[in-house]
């Protein structure tokens, strides 16, 4: 670094700057924060402008991110010589990274550089394309259909059924049989309340940050709808969509492909709290969650105020039999639910598990069967 004053400002203010970005609505994952700090050490920014471009390359992924990042940076490190001017014709999630001299990025981010790896606010309609399942996926789907029923929790039915053993005498049945035996009761008949599968509710995140996992989650949902008795499936990104009907098709690939006509908020922004509140505002949907096994398949990267998400998850926890959160991030042994959204709902979850594809989903089903 050539400016001694910049050395002092970076050393004293960089962590406060990152916290301020978070407070302003630009919630940068810890992995990208590490990339930013390592980039400062590796590149040794010459001045505030150089530091600005390092941060823009590593901490932002869209035009909306830049609109938050630029004024926040200038508050902490002063004005810069050249700020990016995004092309207004480009959609929000596809704004290219800032370029330096010769058209090259001053520092290439090693995390989060692809579209669909960050949560956002953008709401736009698009028809997602879900490709066919691989041969390995089809094999895992067959295993899932065989194991799912035995892994689901059960509850005693409210209706009494004829049974060989049971605490209730089946008087009506014995009277009917006695007519054939001239009034003699030959066999003592009983009734019992058999066990039946609890309702299952799947809430699947199809936002941009879950782009790589949505197809696998929907195929898992298709397997559940096909082999379980009472299953309801909803997707959410920026809105809530019920997809149980299309998933009743017999074949997995056509069923999942048909969702491109129904799920119009896929690969866009993330509004977990508002989507769950929309679910809970519908009395019919609330009935689906009452006493059910509820599984939320999401990375939990909420944007904006996390209070709606916390309140909605709290109510879901009170309504359901068990509330599980399956996230691809938990597949990393070093994962800790320390983001604002996940830390806010952690106390209301029965379990957090790592699920990123059908194979890891099958492993979780096996774990549920052993519990």
Per-residue pLDDT of 127-148, as tens digits, reads 677 878 899 999 999 999 999 9
Q: Report the chain's mean pLDDT, rounded to a whole number.
A: 82
The two structure tokens encoding residue 72: 């926040």
User: How far is it, in rounded angstroms, from Cα 99 to Cα 103?
Assistant: 5
User: How far is it, in rounded angstroms, from Cα 150 to Cα 268?
Assistant: 36
The two structure tokens encoding residue 130: 């879900």
User: How far is it, in rounded angstroms, from Cα 26 to Cα 21?
Assistant: 5
Helix and strand numbers (H, E) in the chain are 13, 11
Is the model's pLDDT at 290 over the cut of 70? yes
- 187 vs 258, higher pLDDT: 258
* pLDDT of the residue at 86: 47
Burial label, 255 (beta-carbon count in 10 A; 0-12, 13-18, 19+)? buried
- 12 vs 101, higher pLDDT: 12
C-alpha distances in Å from residue 305, one per residue of 61, 276, 309:
20, 14, 8
What stretch of H or E contains 322?
strand 322-327
* pLDDT of the residue at 1: 47
User: Is the alpha carbon torsion for 339, 340, 341, 342 positive or negative?
Assistant: positive
Domains of the chain by range and CATH?
4-103 (no CATH), 135-153+196-370 (3.40.50.410), 158-193 (no CATH)
User: How far is it, in rounded angstroms, from Cα 214 to Cα 206?
Assistant: 6
Closest Cα to residue 360, out of 332, 331, 318?
Answer: 331
Over residues 255-259, the mean pLDDT reads 92
Lowest mean pLDDT of 50-64, 173-187, 217-231, name the range: 173-187
Is the model's pLDDT at 330 over the cut of 90? yes
User: How far is it, in rounded angstroms, from Cα 281 to Cα 275?
Assistant: 10
Core vs surface per residue 32-69: b (16+ CB within 10 A) or e? bbebbeebbeebebebbbbbbbbbbbbbbbbbbbbbbb
Which residues is 191 bridged to in the sheet? 162, 168
CB under 8 Å to 3, separation ≥6 — which residues?
46, 47, 48
pLDDT (tens digit per residue) in 140-179: 999 999 999 999 998 888 788 888 888 888 888 888 888 8
pLDDT tier for residue 106 given thresholds of 50, 70 and 90: very low
Give the long-range contacts of residues 94-98, CB within 8 A, separation 24 or more. 94/62, 95/62, 95/63, 95/66, 97/56, 97/57, 97/60, 98/53, 98/56, 98/57, 98/66
Angle made by CA atoms 331, 153, 240, in degrees to the nearest 5: 65
* pLDDT of the residue at 168: 86
* pLDDT of the residue at 71: 87
User: How far is it, in rounded angstroms, from Cα 185 to Cα 176?
Assistant: 10
The two structure tokens encoding residue 92: 């929000």
Q: Are 189 and 177 in contact (CB under 8 A)?
A: yes
pLDDT (tens digit per residue) in 273-284: 999 999 999 999
DSSP SS3 for 196? strand
* pLDDT of the residue at 3: 63
Over residues 331-347, the mean pLDDT reads 92
User: How far is it, in rounded angstroms, from Cα 40 to Cα 37?
Assistant: 5
Query: Is the whole-model pTM more than 0.85?
Result: no
């Amino acid at each position: 670094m050539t400016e001694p004053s910049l050395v002092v400002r970076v050393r004293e203010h960089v962590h406060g700057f990152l916290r301020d970005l978070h407070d302003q609505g630009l919630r940068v994952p810890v992995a990208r924060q590490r990339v930013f700090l390592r980039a400062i050490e590796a590149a040794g920014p010459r001045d505030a402008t150089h530091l600005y471009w390092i941060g823009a390359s590593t901490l932002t992924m869209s035009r909306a991110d830049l609109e938050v990042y630029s004024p926040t940076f200038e508050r902490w490190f002063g004005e810069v010589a050249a700020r990016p001017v995004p092309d207004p014709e480009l959609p929000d999630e596809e704004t290219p990274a800032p370029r330096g001299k010769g058209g090259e990025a001053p520092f290439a981010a090693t995390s989060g550089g692809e579209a669909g790896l960050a949560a956002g606010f953008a709401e736009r309609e698009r028809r997602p394309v879900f490709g066919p399942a691989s041969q390995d996926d089809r094999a895992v789907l067959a295993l899932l259909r065989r194991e799912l029923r035995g892994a689901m929790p059960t509850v005693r039915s409210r209706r009494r059924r004829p049974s060989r053993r049971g605490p209730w005498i089946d008087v009506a049945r014995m009277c009917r049989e006695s007519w054939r035996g001239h009034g003699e009761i030959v066999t003592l008949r009983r009734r019992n309340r058999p066990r039946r599968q609890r309702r299952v509710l799947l809430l699947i995140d199809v936002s941009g940050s879950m782009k790589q996992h949505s197809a696998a989650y929907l195929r898992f949902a298709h397997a559940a709808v096909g082999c379980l008795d009472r299953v309801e499936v909803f997707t959410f990104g920026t809105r809530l969509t019920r997809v149980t009907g299309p998933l009743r098709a017999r074949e997995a690939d056509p069923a999942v492909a048909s969702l491109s006509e129904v799920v119009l908020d896929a690969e866009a922004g993330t509004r977990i709290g508002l989507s769950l509140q929309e679910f809970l505002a519908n009395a019919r949907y609330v009935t689906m969650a009452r006493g059910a096994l509820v599984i939320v398949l999401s990375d939990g990267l909420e944007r904006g105020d996390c209070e709606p998400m916390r309140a909605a998850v709290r109510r879901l926890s009170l309504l359901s039999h068990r509330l599980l959160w399956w996230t691809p991030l938990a597949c990393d042994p070093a994962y800790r639910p320390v983001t604002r959204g996940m830390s806010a709902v952690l106390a209301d979850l029965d379990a957090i598990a790592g699920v990123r594809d059908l194979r890891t989903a099958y492993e979780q089903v096996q774990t549920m069967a052993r519990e």
